[in-house]
Chain A
Amino acid sequence: MTHHYIPNVQEIRGQMLREIDIASIDELFADIPSDVRLKHKLKLPAPMSELEVRRQIKSMLSKNKPFTKMPTFLGGGTWPHHVPSHVRSIIQRAEFLTSYTPYQAEVSQGVLQALFEFQSMICELVGLEVANASMYDWATALGEAALMCARITERRKFVVPETISQERLFVLQNYARGPAVRVVKVGYDDRTGQLDLSQLRAELDKDTAGVYIENPSYLGFLETQVDEIADVAHRVGAKFVVGVNPVSLGILKAPGDYGADIVVGEGQPLGNPVSFGGPALGIFACRSEDKLIRQLPGRLIGMTETVDGTTRGYAMVLQTREQHIRRERATSNICSNEALCAIAAAIYMASLGPTGFRKLAETCAANAEYAMKRLWTVDGLEVPIFDSPHFNEFTLRCTKPGVTVEKFNKKLLEQGVHGGKPIKKEFPELDEAALICTTELHTKESIDELVEAASRALEGSK
């Protein structure tokens, strides 16, 4: 029996074959040499009805415990936020969901304008004039930013802070491998976490293509010397690249306003679910300079008008930078991106508006402030590790002898609370440390629950 996704049933297929004088379907595959042909039927689960598949996958996924069912304090590169129902509902519209990349502008004005508005709102957030239509995620956007700096400056060194997320560092190193860009780390102040400026100065030279910082940093604190870092970088002719959690920009100064040439970041928190880490949404923005724009990776949507000059419209622009035209001389190999996630982000930003967005950022920060204040009172915890202002994430350290961070987290989990991300593999110098995150999803009660669970966890381990 023909599968129900295939309209041309056996009888119609027979008729089509006759119409084109082909004896059998096999004739259409006769050019596949028999020695390479598949001799067995693929060993896959037997086909199931929709009902059976729904049952099976629901039952499989029911073994997960979603963070909505337990207070969870994980962030570290992807952050849970409330996604308004209308955002989910609009991006499920088939016209957006089931369309291809908008090569045919005449029938793709919807996606094109929505992506232009995404670019526009990202520009407002980060304080720059140019943004592309998305990268895969923050980490790959960073990788591309390093390569872009190297192309623009014709230099081969890219400087990053030691406090960078190790995942992003690994990705960056892989992107840097091909063009042989050297990734160099600069240390931080033990007490404050702030980038070591004298070490930065010593590291910068005529071969430095770019200087990268994260603000808020991966470890949650804010870089307070951004003006100095921008200045030091620019003085040697390097580009200044800033990585952001865009939600923080509801209250924090826009990187474009403190000298950033390129801003990258993770756009997932803008209207997209965490979804076990993907799909994500890479943000990529830059200063409006011709030299930078021509070296941008990824799709760019531009405003234009009809050939007859009567009507405003949108189209993919500067495609000559891209792989389908420039091939091995393209600015990047990226083709498919994260367009639908970008549209979700546009709808999200437009819905929150300036007031909502500020409120969102304030709530995230206030919740972290409250959590730090309360956890500080717990015996056996050092919170936060760094004496600096924080946004919505911070580090804690288990100081009680014999209590590893894993053991601490396990005890929290036994009480129905999911602790922060252990970071001692990434930062052994911080000992038994974890990264805690709060967003607007957390309530006073859920934070209190964490504090109480933490107290009990540490009491019990005496």
Chain B
Amino acid sequence: MSFCQARWARGGCLEPSIFELSRPGRRGAGFPKKLIARIKIPEKLLRGSLRLPELSEPEVVRHYTRLSQMNYGVDMVFYPIGSCTMKYNPKICEELAALDEAVFLHPDQDESTVQGALELMYRLERCLSEIGGVSKTCLHPSAGAHGELLGMLLVRAYHSSKGENRFEVVVPDSAHGTNFASAAMAGFRVVVVPSNDRGRVDLEALRSAVSGRTAALALTNPNTLGLFEDEISEIAKTVHEAGGLLYYDGANMNGILGKVRPGDMGFDIVHFNLHKTFSTPHGGGGPGAGPVGVVQKLERFLPVPTVEYDGRRNSYYLDYDRPESIGKIRSFYGSFGVLVKAYTYILIMGAEGLGEATEAAVLNANYVMRKVREVPGFEVKFDGPCKHEVVFSAEPLKRETGVTARDVAKRLLDYGIHAPTYYFPPIVPEALMVEPTETEPKEELDRFIAAMKEISEDARSVPEKLWSAPSATAIGRLDETKASRSPILSWRMYENRARR
């Protein structure tokens, strides 16, 4: 199959900037009404000119449609970017989240006028708590990392309620970058524990890392190598005996959903990535949602408001009367639009469907693992089955041919396959992290495997083809170093620089 991405180009650029397309006097939206009162704002508070582009509606539509065509999405291509769970996003979820009764709803409306929204949130909260094996879930966080920050604030609140000063959070060296950053943001010192030769947390190192200073351990399970932390019970015991809490990073939940629950593994705080496991679209980087579930002893610290059900009145309400709550971590009640999509997904899948998705996702990852590790140049450092994702090392390929993991990833783009995550986790040299998800057919996996074979062969015969890849994409490799050295972050900045 040959592939070529759409490329809208003129002269030295692809589609011109919206500012270059602007022509005086055009406009893309109308406000026909006359003002019904005179505005009484003093002159000195008013602005002079406002420089926005001037285009008609059809021109705006064409510009952004062309831009969209120079962008990969799951609906077009295989998107095996590890730890990101780029699965198919059902269209019904979009339809329901766009209903008037969902979008034309103000969060401060009288409770009697938003019963449906509160009911949906209440029911989703119950589903997530069951899936996570926790007692209550807060739907507020806007993303996984935001959930982590909330989790860390809950850890703080818990320990200070007991009068304890614990200021260290233990994080494995294979963890997502956000785990470190979230702990630091909440004021904790990060203590790193190494992985053992099986790619799991080194239990001995963990035992010596925890102490009376330990506030929590943040852990992803399956971890970023796609491996299940099979000593989880020992890990949990070690941390709990030292008085610490266990935080579960839910980024990799697609590998275990329906098989084992974080709560049952001993985790006290769990975040869910609705935009990964529960199939809400990533939207080019967001919006996501990262609800946080907790065990019973932490419930009282959750942000306000929680959504509750009053059985006597058969009605749902927002509960602000929670004196030990940590307060708020964002405005209102979370990304409701995303919550509607996730709830729809859970209803369509049911327990059976969710369990089957996990099995199919794990099988797809193991199939790819087995087939690609037979390709010369790629190896898997750790034995045993993986879960939802697999991490290859292209170290042998680099040694033999000079072709790096990055080159491989860039070359995959020419096959109409999105690059895997590369150079992560940092504990694997020349890492290529592949997560196929359950929504890819075998044929697509076979095409990926064939591409990896061809790349391996090309690395030996025509390595320059890989060093210069990609070429079938809208644009070739960009000078990212220069872009960061003297960054141009807006059209205004670009023009000012050109003027200088």
- Tell me, yes or no, whether A295 is within 8 Å of chain B by CB: no
Residues of B within 8 A of A119 (CB): 489-490
The one of A100, A274, A350, A360 in contact with B55, judged by C-beta atoms closer than 8 angstroms, is A350
Per-residue interface assignment for chain B, residues 466 to 490, with 1 indicating a CB less than 8 Å from any chain A CB and 0 otherwise: 0000100111111110111001111
Residues of A within 8 A of B379 (CB): none
The one of B9, B102, B181, B186 in contact with A177, judged by C-beta atoms closer than 8 angstroms, is B186
**B103 with A274: CB separation less than 8 A:** yes
B189 to chain A, nearest CB (A): 8
**A340 with B479: CB separation less than 8 A:** no
Residue of B nearest to A110 (CB): B71
Residues of B within 8 A of A319 (CB): 484
Residues of B within 8 A of A86 (CB): 28, 57, 60-61
Residues of B within 8 A of A101 (CB): 282, 284-285
**A171 with B37: CB separation less than 8 A:** no
Stretch of A196-204, A206-214, A310-318 on the interface side = A310-318
The one of A99, A136, A359 in contact with B72, judged by C-beta atoms closer than 8 angstroms, is A99
Stretch of B205-213, B344-352, B452-460 on the interface side = B344-352
Residues of A within 8 A of B79 (CB): 100
Q: How far is the CA of A63 from the CA of B316 in the complex (A)?
A: 12
> Residues of A within 8 Å of B, CB-based: how many?
213
- Tell me, yes or no, whether B380 is within 8 Å of chain A by CB: no
Residue of A nearest to B35 (CB): A366
- Tell me, yes or no, whether B14 is within 8 Å of chain A by CB: yes
**A323 with B478: CB separation less than 8 A:** no
B217 to chain A, nearest CB (A): 15
Residue of A nearest to B367 (CB): A16
- Tell me, yes or no, whether A429 is within 8 Å of chain B by CB: no
- Tell me, yes or no, whether B42 is within 8 Å of chain A by CB: yes
**B113 with A65: CB separation less than 8 A:** yes
Q: How far is the CA of A64 from the CA of B316 in the complex (A)?
A: 12
Q: How far is the CA of A249 from the CA of B52 in the complex (A)?
A: 12
Stretch of B239-247, B292-300, B355-363, B395-403 on the interface side = B355-363
- Tell me, yes or no, whether B277 is within 8 Å of chain A by CB: no
**B338 with A279: CB separation less than 8 A:** yes
Residues of A within 8 A of B68 (CB): 90, 93, 95-96, 110
A162 to chain B, nearest CB (A): 17
**A22 with B130: CB separation less than 8 A:** no
Per-residue interface assignment for chain A, residues 49 to 64, with 1 indicating a CB less than 8 Å from any chain B CB and 0 otherwise: 1100110111011111
A149 to chain B, nearest CB (A): 15
Residue of A nearest to B72 (CB): A107
B266 to chain A, nearest CB (A): 8
Chain A residues 239 to 273 lying within 8 A of chain B, measured CB to CB, are 249-254, 257, 266, 273
- Tell me, yes or no, whether B178 is within 8 Å of chain A by CB: yes
Residues of A within 8 A of B148 (CB): 333
B263 to chain A, nearest CB (A): 10
Per-residue interface assignment for chain B, residues 3 to 34, with 1 indicating a CB less than 8 Å from any chain A CB and 0 otherwise: 00100010011110111001000111111010
Once A and B bind, how many residue pairs between them come within 8 Å at the CB atom?
Answer: 725
**B328 with A328: CB separation less than 8 A:** no
Q: How far is the CA of A131 from the CA of B73 in the complex (A)?
A: 25
The one of A311, A353, A370 in contact with B53, judged by C-beta atoms closer than 8 angstroms, is A353
Q: How far is the CA of A201 from the CA of B136 in the complex (A)?
A: 46
B320 to chain A, nearest CB (A): 9
- Tell me, yes or no, whether B70 is within 8 Å of chain A by CB: yes
- Tell me, yes or no, whether A194 is within 8 Å of chain B by CB: no
**A330 with B181: CB separation less than 8 A:** yes
**B282 with A333: CB separation less than 8 A:** no
- Tell me, yes or no, whether A377 is within 8 Å of chain B by CB: no
Per-residue interface assignment for chain A, residues 67 to 103, with 1 indicating a CB less than 8 Å from any chain B CB and 0 otherwise: 1101010101110100010101111111111111111
**A253 with B478: CB separation less than 8 A:** no
**A131 with B490: CB separation less than 8 A:** yes
**A389 with B42: CB separation less than 8 A:** yes
**B64 with A90: CB separation less than 8 A:** yes
Known contacts being A47-B350, A333-B149, is A100 close to B41, with CB within 8 Å? no
**A13 with B363: CB separation less than 8 A:** yes
Residues of B within 8 A of A72 (CB): 106, 109
Residue of A nearest to B116 (CB): A63
B360 to chain A, nearest CB (A): 5
Q: How far is the CA of A133 from the CA of B144 in the complex (A)?
A: 18
- Tell me, yes or no, whether B158 is within 8 Å of chain A by CB: no
- Tell me, yes or no, whether B49 is within 8 Å of chain A by CB: yes
**B185 with A66: CB separation less than 8 A:** no
Known contacts being A96-B283, A328-B184, A337-B143, is A352 close to B335, with CB within 8 Å? no
Chain A residues 163 to 179 lying within 8 A of chain B, measured CB to CB, are 165, 167-168, 170-171, 173-175, 177-179
**B142 with A42: CB separation less than 8 A:** no
Residue of A nearest to B49 (CB): A354
- Tell me, yes or no, whether B281 is within 8 Å of chain A by CB: yes
**B489 with A302: CB separation less than 8 A:** yes
B153 to chain A, nearest CB (A): 6
Residue of A nearest to B14 (CB): A109
A49 to chain B, nearest CB (A): 8
**A279 with B287: CB separation less than 8 A:** yes
The one of A5, A275, A332 in contact with B103, judged by C-beta atoms closer than 8 angstroms, is A275
Q: How far is the CA of A340 from the CA of B491 in the complex (A)?
A: 20
- Tell me, yes or no, whether B127 is within 8 Å of chain A by CB: yes
Chain B residues 126 to 140 lying within 8 A of chain A, measured CB to CB, are 127, 130-131, 133
- Tell me, yes or no, whether A462 is within 8 Å of chain B by CB: no
- Tell me, yes or no, whether A444 is within 8 Å of chain B by CB: yes
Central interface residue in B33, B332, B439, by most chain A CB within 10 Å: B332
7 A-B pairs closest in CB distance = A47-B350, A277-B332, A340-B283, A110-B71, A178-B187, A339-B285, A277-B107
Starting from the known contacts A171-B327, A343-B64, 9 additional A-B residue pairs (CB-CB under 8 Å) come to: A28-B363, A28-B366, A49-B348, A61-B101, A61-B116, A100-B86, A330-B177, A333-B182, A366-B35
- List 19 interface pairs A-B (beta carbons < 8 Å), by A numbering: A7-B440, A7-B442, A36-B265, A42-B258, A43-B130, A48-B347, A65-B113, A96-B68, A117-B18, A123-B491, A252-B47, A277-B332, A279-B287, A280-B330, A305-B479, A312-B14, A318-B487, A332-B185, A335-B144
